[in-house]
Amino acid sequence: MHIQKSIARWVATTAAAFFLATSMWAWLTPARAASLEGAAEVVSAGSTGGQPLTSGGSATDFTLKLPANAACAGDSANANWRWQTYMVVGGVDPATLQFGAQGPTPAGNGAEFSQPLYTPTASPVVNRNTADAASAGGPGPIVNIPAFDFSVWGPGDIPAGTYNVGVACTLGSASATQLDRYWNAQMTFTTAPADSPAQVTWTAASTPPTTTTTVAPTTTTSTTAVATTTTTMPGATTTTTIPGATTTTVASGATTTTSTTTASNSTISLSPASGAAGSTVSVSATGFRSGSQAQVYFLSDPVLLTTVTVTSTGGVSVSVTIPSNAASGSHSIEVRGTATSGAALTKSSSFTVTTSTTTVLSRTGTDFLTPLIWGLVLLALGRIATSFDLSPLRHGLRK
């Protein structure tokens, strides 16, 4: 009887401990977060392949140029990694995408547009193989990125707006941990009835610079300096301009007059100036050239949020979504474009992320509740088994 109780107690305790440990491990282990590895540049796919391409129509061929040495964590031949393409509406964070046999899943059109990129022959670019790793266990280079266009779509299939397009590395079937890394570009589409076949034209945002120089900062804004120029004439006075100034050069013996304008006609504001990761912020800025393109970035690491067309009054007004993986703390939102003078202009304002979604609580992964319940049930059964007295039953059988 003592041996039976000991065995029952050991079995029940071991099983309960296993299920409890499994549930706690699932709870404490966050899902792997996909990372933005850099910008994908929209370039020409023709005889001048590799040259930046800033605009086109639905039948314009283009391709995506990734940074040098872009690669998945492993290769296809030895570790089953694949690279994918995607095109989703600008409000969708590419880090949240999952991919099936036909591209991003679930697929969508119209306001919920979520599709792979297509070649000019209407083939979806999905589940492509990497090159073999140079050494065992090494990364798999992304190679043979083909030409794309939008001729597979018809009128109304691509609503006007900004879209995220890019290349992503995946491992395994669709899941919250399938996507490992990605390279993103943004394209802004405009309805164009004269275009064929999709009746759209597009513009591509330029690759964000790695550094930004600002001058004359205030508590809320900063302005990029106008380039310095020097004009020299024989026998004349030489004058060097300062940011926002106008220069008058006159003959020798005359006086030189320099007048300085203020930056009061160039502003930026955010509403609200703080919020959780994934929240929406209204951005307003002035001082840009009418009809030009302006890009809105989220920093520290530059993340292109959207591209907009400056209004006839030189203003930018747009709602953007803070990246869902933004860390808590102080960041900057920048509007980059062209000033009325033709010089580059950057306006920035600080934004405080109050709550990050990259905490353990936001992870998606294994369900911990089921093994927890099983562990408690087995623990209870073990207690019953070790306390149940079988001696009366044995005595009855002997009689």
User: Torsion angle of alpha carbons 20, 26, 29, 33, nearest 10°?
Assistant: 180
Q: SS3 of 118, please?
A: strand
DSSP string, 309-335: EPPTTS-EEEEEE--TTPPSEEEEEEE
Rg (CA), the chain: 30
Q: Answer yes or no: is 19 within a domain.
A: yes
User: Could you tell me if 345 and 375 lie in one domain?
Assistant: no
CA dihedral sign, ordered 35, 38, 39, 43? negative
Q: Are residues 315 and 200 in the same domain?
A: no
Transcribe 177-243 into DSSP letters.
T-EEEEEEEEEEEEE-TTSSSS-EEEEEPPPPPS----BS--SS--BPPPPP-EE--TTB--EE--T
At residue 215, what are phi and psi to the nearest 5 degrees?
-135, 170
Q: 292 and 252, same structural domain?
A: no
User: In terms of pTM, does the model score above 0.75?
Assistant: no
Distance CA 133, CA 75 (A): 6
Whether residue 214 is contained in a domain is answered as no
Tens-digit pLDDT profile for residues 370-383: 666 776 776 766 66
pLDDT of residue 64: 96
Please check whether residue 396 lies inside any domain of the structure: no
Q: Are residues 338 and 379 in the same domain?
A: no
Q: How many domains does the chain have?
A: 4
Closest CA to 364 of 58, 183, 96: 96
Say whether both 284 and 341 belong to one domain.
yes
154 φ, ψ to 5°? -110, 180
**Distance, CA of 298 to CA of 335 (rounded, Å):** 9
The kind and range of the H/E element at 372 are helix 369-387
Residues 296 and 342 in one domain: yes
Instruction: Give dist(CA 31, CA 374) in Å, integer.
Output: 23
CA 105-106-107 angle, 5° bins: 90
> Does residue 248 fall inside a structural domain?
yes
Instruction: Give the pLDDT confidence score for residue 24 in this predicted structure.
Output: 55
Residue type, 251: A
* pLDDT score at 110: 86
Q: Are strands 245-248 and 230-231 parallel, antiparallel or unpaired?
A: unpaired
Measure the CA–CA gap between 304 and 333, rounded to whole angstroms. 10
Tens of pLDDT, residue by residue over 329-358, are 889 999 998 988 888 899 999 999 998 644
Q: Are residues 198 and 303 in the same domain?
A: no
Beta-bridge partner residues of 332: 299, 350
What local confidence, expressed as pLDDT, does residue 67 receive?
93
In a domain, 393, yes or no: no
Residue 141 CB burial class (10 angstroms; 0-12, 13-18, ≥19): middle
Please give the backbone phi and psi of residue 150, each rounded to the nearest 5 degrees, phi first. Answer: -115, 25
Domain match, 69 and 184 both: yes
Helix (H) or strand (E) holding 103: strand 103-104
Residue 398 domain-assigned (yes or no): no
- Residue-level pLDDT at 158: 96
Range of the domain at 15: 11-29+368-385
Residue 99 sits in the same domain as residue 243: no
Question: 161 and 239 share a domain?
Answer: no
Query: Do both 150 and 274 map to the same domain?
Result: no
In a domain, 5, yes or no: no
Q: Say what the pLDDT of residue 237 is.
A: 42
| Any domain includes 181 | yes
* Interatomic CA distance for residues 201 and 190, integer angstroms: 5
Q: What is the full per-residue pLDDT of the chain (399 aa) written as tens digits?
A: 556 556 656 655 665 566 555 555 444 544 456 889 889 999 998 765 678 999 999 999 999 999 999 999 999 999 999 999 999 999 999 999 999 999 999 999 888 999 999 999 999 999 999 999 999 899 999 999 999 999 999 999 999 999 999 999 999 999 999 999 999 999 999 999 999 999 999 999 754 433 333 333 433 444 444 444 444 444 444 444 444 444 434 334 433 333 333 334 679 999 999 999 889 999 999 999 898 888 888 886 678 888 889 999 999 999 999 888 888 888 999 999 898 888 889 999 999 999 864 443 334 444 455 666 776 776 766 666 556 555 554 555 555
183 & 68 share domain: yes
Name which of 380, 328, 388 is nearest 352 in CA terms. 328
